Amino acid sequence: MVRRLAIPFGKEQGATLMVWLVALGITVLFLWLLSDVIWQGGQAINGAFLTQAPIKAGLEGGIAPILVSTGLVLGVCMGVSLPLGLGTALFLTEFSPQRSHQAIRLSLDILAGVPSIVFGLFGNAFFSKVLGLGFSILSGGLTLACMVLPILIRSIQVGLVNVPHEYRQAAAALGLSRLGTLKTLILPAALPGIAVGILLGIGRAIAETAALIFTSGYVDRMPTSLLDSGRVLSIHIFDLAMNIPGGEQNAYGTALVLVILLIVINTLVSWFAERFRQSKLQIL
Amino acid sequence: MSRFKSEATWRVLLQILALCSGAILLLILGFLAWETLPILHTIFLDQFWRDPGWYPSEQAYNLTPMVMGTLGVTVGAVLVATPLGLLSAVFCQYYAPTGVAQLYRRLIELLAGIPSVVYGLWGLVVLVPLIAKVQPPGSSLLAGTLILALMILPTIALVTDASLASLPPSYWHGSAALGLGTWATVQGICLPAIRSGLLTAVMLATARALGETMAVLMVCGNVVQVPDSIFAPVRTLTANIALEMAYALDLHRSALFASGLVLMLVVTGLVVVTDRMTDAPES
């Protein structure tokens, strides 16, 4: 120990230099990536890009049907995962006995780490094949619902756990039932936490590609029902970049749209999280 | 009385929802296993590494090149990203002024949120041509390693950052009293103290790198071969699934599910071990 701590004088300066250089290097790389997407993407984006259908596999035209498909897939995903996630989080934090709690928690922790391509395989085998939904927005949305569930449940749980214990004590003292306390006190107080969960779930779902390749599919037409195949933004980027010669420009345009959506979602997350903290401070 | 009844109903309803959520993992495992069965019934397990190559149409299912590809990019990415992520966390905690640290942390969080397909696009358009200038074709093990390293760096940086932040300030008081400099304290006291946190970070990053699909699919070249240099194109297990699932039938499809199942079991193992480590009290 003593020998390791006896460091010659010049080493401190060298280390400082190294740490700053690493940080600077990472910043430069990141700004390079971001400015590349903004610069190249900015040239592709205009009003028509957002409102037209793709022409020649996306080489020309815009991404309107792709935006609609993305919205529908997200809608299905959140429509299914939100009730499931909210119910699970409520059960785990408010009702559950310790043992089943542990089992479900472990199962969700593992689920959170499952690679997205495995969700794709599962979605293809279960939703597309066994349930007969084929390559459709519905299969894609349901697959994503399984995928975002852990992150959704965890954030809602954090929201619920952070509701001050005094609320529950006060409600119990007033003779409110557990259900009444839940509905009138705890859920409203946990609302910003739930909002954070929903936004994080949407953020994860909208960035996803691998799970959707063989569940919601590649078709770039305007979907007319949830049983149609629909191409989402991330798959459009992948297809343009990999399979369409000269498609980079519009791939960048689509990537910029995706990144902007994600930044908006991130900003909302911090805003809600901040509000959550403040509202608690005011009451206490 | 009705109040209690409705509470009991709600309780049961919520319990059912929770059980559904918990069952998804079993459902996934079950379906992967079910789809894997046909090939296990038909070929011997050792054919996955003894067959003459990966020619699914001729019943040859050697997955060795893909396993080597996955291991290559994963190990490379972890080796590159760990020191950088670690130093980046040290920078945030001890070197940067508060304002800069906050800005930098925000940047790393943003980096963590960028979709893998965007990393892949950038890698394909910017990084691959750069590597091709040194040694064609550009799409290679090296490209995959670097892009993956960039993608897992935020995971390592953020987890390590949190571990460093949880160290008691008394460590710093002690080292200041001994007259130690910043780096001496970091190297001699802080880093040894967060060993388990660092290990968690590395394991999470490994799990993420193993399962990553889109970025490696876009920059690695996807040639089925055991790479002989870092400039050789490779195909990972995940890329193999993504490329061939669309048209795979029967045993071919089953072989892809088998590789997915193995991937899932390895990643699950990593997550469970990490979980145990985080739960165990620090000594």
Query: What's the CATH number where B263 sits?
Result: 1.10.3720.10
B11 part of a folded domain: no
Residues 6+ apart with CB under 8 A from A176: A184, A185
**Residue range of the domain that includes B165:** 57-279
- Residue in this structure with the two tokens 């003894």, named with its chain if needed: B50
Report the gap between the CA of A103 and the closest CA in chain B (Å): 8
Question: Which of the 8 DSSP states describes residue B267?
Answer: H
- Chain A hits for B242, CB-CB cut-off 8 Å, are 117, 120, 210, 213
Check A92 against B28: CB less than 8 A apart: no
Task: Determine whether the interchain pair B188/A5 forms a contact, defined as Cβ–Cβ distance below 8 Å.
Answer: yes
Position B33 in a domain: no
Residue B55: phi and psi, rounded to 5, are -125, 80
| φ, ψ (nearest 5 deg) of residue A135 | -80, 100
Of A99-103, A149-153, A198-202, B278-282, the one with minimum mean pLDDT is: B278-282
Q: Are strands B60-61 and A60-61 parallel, antiparallel or unpaired?
A: unpaired
A133 vs A124, A136, B93, B136, B219, CA distance in Å? 9, 6, 50, 44, 32
Query: Which one, of B267, B272, B203, lies nearest residue B237 by Cα?
Result: B267
Q: Where does residue B115 fall: left (phi above 0), alpha (psi -120 to 50 degrees), or beta otherwise?
A: beta
Label residue B234 left, alpha or beta by phi (over 0 means left) and psi (-120 to 50 means alpha). Answer: beta
Q: How far apart are CA B76 and CA B258, in angstroms?
A: 25
Task: For residue B115, give the nearest of A36, A83, A207 by CB distance.
Answer: A207
Residue B19 lies in a domain: no
Residue A1 confidence class, pLDDT cut points 50, 70, 90: very low
What the block records as the tokens of A85 is 């996630």
Structure tokens at B65: 């090149």
Give the span between the Cα atoms of B169 and A137, in whole angstroms. Answer: 52
In order of A139, A204, B96, B165, the CA distances from B168 in angstroms are 49, 34, 19, 8
- Alpha carbon A235 to chain centroid distance? 16
In a domain, residue B218? The reply is: yes
Question: How close is the nearest chain A Cα to the Cα of B140, in Å?
Answer: 15
Interhelix angle B141-165/B64-90, nearest 10 degrees: 40
* Contacts of residue B247, Cβ cutoff 8 Å, sequence gap at least 6: none
Cα A193 to the center of its chain, rounded Å: 15
A125 to B21: CB separation less than 8 angstroms, yes or no: no
- Quote the minimal CA–CA distance from B106 to chain A in Å: 11
Nearest CA in chain A to B109: A266
Tens place of pLDDT per residue across chain B (283 aa) = 455 567 788 888 888 999 999 999 999 999 999 999 999 888 888 888 888 889 988 888 999 999 999 999 999 999 999 999 999 999 999 999 999 999 999 999 888 889 999 999 999 999 999 999 998 888 999 999 999 999 999 999 999 999 999 999 999 999 989 988 899 999 999 999 999 899 999 999 999 999 999 999 999 999 999 988 999 999 999 999 999 998 888 899 999 999 999 999 999 999 888 888 776 644 3
* Upper half-sphere CA count for residue B281 (Cβ side, 13 Å): 1
Of B32, B184, B270, nearest to A5 by CB-CB distance is B184
Residue tagged 């997915």 (tokens): B260
Residue A160, amino acid: L
Distance from the Cα of A111 to chain B's closest Cα (Å) equals: 6
- Residues of chain B with C-beta less than 8 angstroms from the C-beta of A23: 87-88, 91, 95-96, 104
CA–CA distances in Å: residue B47 to residues B53, B61, B243:
10, 7, 21
**Closest alpha carbon to B236 in B219, B249, B257:** B219
**DSSP, res B45:** T
**Residue A209: its chain B contacts at CB < 8 A?**
115-117, 213-214
Task: Give the pLDDT confidence score for residue A282 in this predicted structure.
Answer: 52
Q: In this complex, which of B116, B121, B183 lies closest to A251 when CB atoms are compared?
A: B121
User: Is the separation of the CB atoms in B87 and A23 below 8 Å?
Assistant: yes
Element (H, E) at B47: helix B47-50
Task: Tell how far CA B91 is from the center of its chain.
Answer: 24
Q: Are B93 and B164 spatial neighbours (Cβ–Cβ below 8 Å)?
A: yes
* Number of separate domains in chain B: 1
**ipTM summary value:** 0.91
Average pLDDT of every residue of chain A: 88
- The reply to whether B210 falls in a domain is yes
Instruction: Name the residue type at position A122.
Output: F
| Residues A101-135: tens digit of each pLDDT | 888 888 998 999 899 999 999 999 999 999 999 99
What is the predicted pLDDT for the residue at B5? 67
Residue B21 inside a domain? The answer is no
Q: Residues B124, B126, B128, B133: is their CA dihedral positive or negative? A: positive
In a domain, B131, yes or no: yes
Q: Which of A30, A104, A126 is the closest to B22 by Cβ?
A: A104
* Alpha carbon of A279: minimum distance to chain B alpha carbons (Å): 23
User: From the CA of B157, how many Å to the nearest CA of chain A?
Assistant: 11
Cβ–Cβ under 8 Å, residues A249 and B121: no
**Among candidates A37, A109, A258 on the partner chain, residue whose Cβ is nearest the Cβ of B275:** A109
Q: CB B267 to CB A114 under 8 A?
A: yes
- DSSP 8-state class, residue A217: -
Q: Considering CB atoms only, which of B17, B90, B238 is closest to A117?
A: B238
- Alpha carbons B30 and B26: distance in angstroms, whole number: 6
Q: How many CB pairs under 8 A join A and B?
A: 260
**A113, B150: Cβ pair inside 8 Å?**
no
Q: What is d(CA B63, CA B73) in angstroms, rounded to the nearest whole number?
A: 16
Whether B10 is in a domain gets the answer no
Backbone angles phi, psi at A54, to 5 degrees: -65, 140
